[in-house]
Structure 1
Amino acid sequence: MQKSGGAVIPMDNKDIVYLFGARQVQPAPREIFDEEVCDFLGKLSEELRADVRAKQYTDILTFAFFIRRANLKLMKERYADAAYMIGKGTVFHIAPSNVPINFAYSWVFGLLSGNANIVRVSMKDFIQVRIICDAVDRLILDEQYRWVEQENAVVMYDHAKKELTDLFSAQCQVRLIWGGDHTIEMIRQSKLPPRSTEITFADRYSFALMDAKAVLDSSEQEMSRLAANFYNDTYLMDQNACSTPHMICWIGEGEQYRKAQKRFWEHISKEAERYTLEDIKASEKFTTLCSYLMELDTKQTDRYQNLLYVISLNKLPENITKLRGKYGLFFQKEFQNVQDTLVHLNDTRVQTCVIYGVDEKEIKKEVIHMHMLGIDRVVPIGKSLDIDLNWDGYDMIRGLSRKIG
């Protein structure tokens, strides 16, 4: 596959578009955190931070910050005792269609664990994907980074083309699927070689746990920062990300609940004025609101124009993970303490607990003490979208590499 002036030129198979890379990747397993790999990623970070187009997208700049040399060094230090670890071969990544930048993080996991990579991206024309792939194209013109083109490929093809998923699955030692349960079910119809393994990121649910007294005790400056962080966790992705909180669980007593909720949501409503709510989103959100009001046992619903709806619940449904908002629709419920809250969230689908005013270590200890099936992450508000080498309970480096005994 070749490119000319930024235009993609498909090669042999007209159904596959290569954004960059080889038509046939050449696996050459490397040691984890290989020096050549880290050097390339550090250079890619510099390239993206200098790119005028990239500067318009915070998710690209966040990714560039993630792969900067200093951070790669810190990540490598976490595996200082991991001797004789090498990539498994080729990783076939199926990226989701709801988070444009996800493909790049998945690819980095494959690179840092020492693998060649085939990354299938969505057919949606995300500008973030184009900007990153264009930056890679510029770098691989340099002879020292030619190996990147030989060992990697980012491809687009119609997801209905099962024969192409069959083709790439047959070539991989690990298949990495990002997507909902339906996507996983469809991809699994394509067989893997006998010794190949698979890591899946299925439908997940996330929530926030907030201390009412902490909100009341916060300064106006702290509240403004909290509102901005909550906005970034939720509105930036239209509440589509698996780690975005949908329900806010409040811990407190007496009048604390009402006063804290009022203060918090008023700050969120001001922050939400930055959000672009197209007509179709507004219509869909209102329809979703009406459906929930018919189904749930609610106390009240607060509307801050069309930008923010908050449904206060009297009683939780049997399946709490069905409480999913969009475009600025949230749920809230009051609880006595941490244990009282977590007992309702003992589900394998629960991924991230986003906290404010609550001790992170206390939550983690309770997850273990209560023998919980879910909650893989506990992070402060504003950090829910921060991806890491440990994701969904998986250690990505160890999961994508093999140890020579």
Structure 2
Amino acid sequence: MILSEIEFVIPKGVKFNEINTGEFLNPFDNEVLGFLDSLSKELLKLKEYNELVALGFWLRKSNIEKMKKDFFKKYENNIVLPRGVAFHIAPSNVDTIFVYSFVLSMLVGNVNILRIGQKTNEQILTLIKKIEEVLNKYPKLKNKLYIARYGYEEEINEFFSSICDLRIIWGGDETVNTIRKIPLKPTALELTFADKFSFALLDLNNIELNEQFFEKLYRDSFTFLQQACSSVRAICFLPVDKDKKKEFWQKFEEFIQRKNPRLEDKEGITRFNAVVSMAIEEKIKVYHSKFLYVVKVGSLDVIDRVKHPGLGVFYDIDIDSIEELLKFSTKKEQTLSLAGIKKEELVKAIKNVKPKGFDRYVNVGDAMNFSEVWDGFDLLSSLSRIIDVDI
């Protein structure tokens, strides 16, 4: 594919040499705020798409206004300007992440170019249609957002990289490594989000095993079928009676059965083959049903982050303390979802261990909640130029 054949889905019909690279908005421009408020209201109507409703909730006016207030308070002694043209490369495993990415960048005034893959589904098509419909009502934003659909053509990535002031790569590792080989302007900034692995840590002695709890754990796990970086794939248990733990897995399995998550045939085969491989190589115990595979391991060291397929598979690990998990963590760990543990105990452990991994600690049920601070980056700040005037 040559540059003249790039398919822009937003705005339709634009040519590659017509991209705006010089007109930017002020941070938190009223036109952008109006666009996001309108988009939020449209997405909240789409009850059949849980991920789009969650996105609409995040985009609600009160949340954006809070971001604005906190951002300007943080930089009240500085001038904040847009960084320029931002080139976003979206992941294939989470349909909505590209919206979170461009929204934060648009909020600080950047022009945004988004690459989305050619693989599509009804949810993505619905989302793009809503963005286009709402965007048409805000003519000031006409040349501030470009969404291009293409495959892996290096020529196109090279072109967008040559004109951008900021490149944001949403993993995995292979994508990050491939795109990083493409040069940027010497003054350009790059943010990368590689493959990550996430855990839950539970103290069942302090947890009531009711519907509300399992609804939250299910949301942390089965949203995106455990394919998101923040999806719970391994559950660590602090010391607890065996019967209580048996009750946990039994009730969680029953809850999953009632939810009846749908896997395509090829996903079921992928899950089975991955678990068989894990069991043979590590000689581990596997309990499974139609909806749930529990891989019982004797220690954290046995965990294989790469082979874990998601798709309803959970590592089951008994540990003695919070510190044990924190000491084990690497740069590959992203989110730790917790239940039954006091905040002061967690904070003390983090300060004592100074773990290499885990950039997010959240309550069970909140793992999928996107934040402007992600993977250790303050995104609003990173997407901006912070000007210091000292005269």
TM-score normalised over the length of structure 1:
0.88
Structure-to-structure mapping, 1:273-292, within 5 angstroms: 273=257, 274-292=260-278
Tell me if the contact between 1:282 and 1:306 (Cα under 8 Å) persists in the aligned partners: no
User: Distance in 2 between the 1:364 and 1:148 partners?
Assistant: 43
Superposed displacement of residue 315, structure 1: 3.0
Give the drift of 1:297. Answer: 4.7
Residue correspondence of structure 1 range 48-59 to structure 2 within 5 A: 48-50=43-45, 54-59=46-51
Structure-2 separation of matches of 1:207 and 1:282: 22
Q: Could you tell me which residue of structure 2 aligns to residue 236 of structure 1?
A: 223
Aligned position for 2:139: 146
1:318 CA drift (Å): 6.0
Aligned to 2:150: 157
1:227 to 196, 211, 214: 214
Moved more, 261-270 or 395-404: 261-270
Q: Equivalent residue for 2:206?
A: 214
Shift of 1:369: 2.4
TM-score, L = length of structure 2: 0.91
Query: In structure 1, what residue type is equivalent to 2:127?
Result: I
- The one-letter code of the counterpart of 2:81 is I
Question: For 1:12 and 1:286, how far apart are their aligned partners in 2?
Answer: 42
Q: Distance in 1 between matches of 2:315 and 2:306?
A: 11
The DSSP-based 3-state class of the residue aligned with 1:106 is helix
Cα gap change, 1:35/1:141 in structure 2, threshold over 3 Å: closer, same or farther? Answer: closer
The answer to whether the Cα contact below 8 Å between 2:3 and 2:156 also exists between their aligned partners in 1 is: no
Partner of 2:305: 321
1:131 aligns with 2:126: yes
Q: Aligned-residue CA RMSD in angstroms?
A: 2.0
Unmatched runs of 5 consecutive residues or more in structure 2 = none
Answer yes or no: is the 8 Å Cα contact 2:31–2:140 preserved in 1.
no
Structure 2 residue corresponding to 1:331, chosen from 300, 315, 332: 315
CA positional deviation for 1:11? 12
2:197/2:230 contact within 8 Å kept: yes
Question: 1:62 aligned to 2:54?
Answer: yes
Q: Judge conservation of contact 1:96–1:178 (CA < 8 Å) in 2.
A: yes
Q: Which residue of 1 aligns with 2:115?
A: 120
What is the aligned counterpart of 2:188 among 196, 201, 214? 196
CA distance in 2, matches of 1:12, 1:207: 42
1-side partners of 2:307 and 2:42: how far apart? 41
Quote the offset at 1:70 in angstroms: 1.1
Q: Which amino acid aligns with 1:72?
A: I
Alignment partner of 1:342 is 2:326: yes
Measure how far apart 1:92 and its partner are.
0.2
Runs of 5+ unmatched residues, structure 1: 1-9
The 3 A distance-change label for structure 1 pair 238 and 140 is closer
Cα deviation code 1:318-342 (max 9, x no counterpart): 6653462421111111111111222
Q: State the shift of 1:213 in Å.
A: 0.5
**SS of equivalent to 1:124:** coil
How many Å separate the matches in 2 of 1:129 and 1:267?
33
Compared CA separation, residues 25 and 199, structure 1 to 2 (3 A): same
Is the aligned partner of 1:174 residue 2:166? yes
Q: How far apart are residue 380 of structure 1 and its match?
A: 1.2
> Could you say what secondary structure the match of 1:40 adopts?
helix
Equivalent pair of 2:35/2:135 in contact (CA under 8 Å): no
What amino acid is aligned across from residue 271 of structure 2 in structure 1?
A: K
Taking every aligned residue pair, what percent have the same amino acid on both sides?
A: 29
Aligned equivalent of 1:4: none
